[in-house]
Amino acid sequence: MGGNKARQLEFYLGDALDHGAETIITTGAVQSNHVRICAAACGRLGLGCEVQLEDRVRDMPPEYHLSGSPLLSRLHGAVVHHYPEGEDEHAADSALEDIAARVRAKGGKPYVIHLGPEHPPLGALGYVDAATELLDQAQHVDLNIDAIVLPSGSASTHLGMLAGLELLGADIPVYGICIRRDAKSQKQRVALRSEKLCALLDGKVAMKRSRIFLDDAYLGPGYGKTTPEMFEAVSAGAALEGLLLDPIYSGKCFAGLIGMVRSGAFAADADVVFLHTGGVPALLGYASLFERALDSETGSEYAAGRPGPAGTR
């Protein structure tokens, strides 16, 4: 259920323990996969955890705020704070520092995992390692990977995979499906964070902007907002493959993959890796929205395992 966030937190929490931290403080959307897995990992490590839930997705049904990830974060023992904004990363990070100051005032030792792109992307190191694992596994099963498709949000997974492949000399294109901002803005973010990741890697890689491929055609109204393509992708994955995807990241990314296949972006015999980034509990926060979608004609077709548009399954 943790997906890519478990890999990223290995590096943040390792650094926190090295610095003698006692309480981890972080931020994310209400249904944040990162926040939930951070709370779980802190419980396992005996660390306190205070999380800030940002109001990024407006006009959502009640279960969005009560079920799925926010419920599990509380079960994992996190102290939950609410932040009324959703699009101001600098203000959200500033609010984290306020929480950290209160922890220090009580004699605690906080460690803040920031959101803004100006901070070192320690979590991206998890996907530098993942690139090595992926190519090792592919070699073991004699698979020549033609492309990788993954969600691009905070960009840690995206840039980590790019850097890992660069270190290995692997010229595999990585396609990022935008889940929070448009392609132009996201490319700037990936490029900025790539520079900081290169510094963490002692300059061993120098990623080119020409290697950053992004597609915002499946973003819809914005982060966490539903789209017909996402409903189709999640329903198809569940009904036809037993594969569960979340509505925020992997669902939109899988919709992007389906769209790329339908448009002929890949050769018919291409071997394409789809990176599932976890976050499945968020499905429960969208329960009534999925009920409505499944009652529609397209949702019913996929729930029954029938072919989708153009005969694509």
Mean pLDDT of 80-104: 96
Find the catalytic residue in 32, 67, 152, 250: 32
Each residue of 130-165: b (16+ CB within 10 Å) or e?
bbeebbeebeeeeeebebbbbbbbbbbbbbbbbbbb
Q: What percentage of residues in the chain have a pLDDT greater than 70?
A: 95
Predicted confidence band at 65 (pLDDT cuts at 50, 70, 90)? very high
Task: Give the span between the Cα atoms of 304 and 311, in whole angstroms.
Answer: 14
Instruction: Decide which of 226 and 206 is more confident.
Output: 226
Given a cut of 60, whether residue 308 has pLDDT beyond it is no
User: Mind listing the pLDDT tens digit for each residue in 32-54?
Assistant: 999 999 999 999 999 999 999 99
Domains of the chain with CATH codes: 4-113 (3.40.50.1100), 125-304 (3.40.50.1100)
Task: Give the span between the Cα atoms of 195 and 310, in whole angstroms.
Answer: 42
Instruction: Decide which of 223 and 304 is more confident.
Output: 223
Q: What is the pLDDT of residue 208?
A: 83
Given a cut of 50, whether residue 313 has pLDDT beyond it is no
Q: What is the DSSP secondary structure assignment for residue 163, as one 8-state letter?
A: H
Q: What is the pLDDT of residue 101?
A: 98
Block residue for tokens 């994955």 = 237
Q: What is the pLDDT of residue 309?
A: 47
Q: Active-site residue 32, yes or no?
A: yes
Q: What is the pLDDT of residue 297?
A: 59
Task: Give the span between the Cα atoms of 70 and 36, in whole angstroms.
Answer: 7
Predicted confidence band at 303 (pLDDT cuts at 50, 70, 90)? low
User: Mind listing the pLDDT tens digit for each residue in 281-299?
Assistant: 999 999 999 999 988 755 5
Q: What is the pLDDT of residue 310?
A: 43
Mean pLDDT of the chain: 93
Q: What is the pLDDT of residue 2?
A: 81
Task: Give the span between the Cα atoms of 267 and 87, in whole angstroms.
Answer: 38
Mean pLDDT of 235-251: 96
AA letter at 261: V
Predicted confidence band at 312 (pLDDT cuts at 50, 70, 90)? very low
**Rounded alpha-carbon distances, angstroms, from residue 152 to 35, 48, 177, 181:** 17, 29, 6, 9
User: Mind listing the pLDDT tens digit for each residue in 162-213?
Assistant: 999 999 999 999 999 999 999 999 999 999 999 999 999 998 888 888 899 9
Given a cut of 80, whether residue 268 has pLDDT beyond it is yes
Given a cut of 80, whether residue 258 has pLDDT beyond it is yes
Residue 244: how many other CB atoms lie within 10 Å: 17
Given a cut of 70, whether residue 17 has pLDDT beyond it is yes
DSSP string, 121-158: -GGGHHHHHHHHHHHHHHHHTT----EEEEEESSSHHH
Predicted confidence band at 262 (pLDDT cuts at 50, 70, 90)? very high
pTM of the model: 0.93
User: Mind listing the pLDDT tens digit for each residue in 96-130?
Assistant: 999 999 999 999 999 999 999 999 999 999 999 99
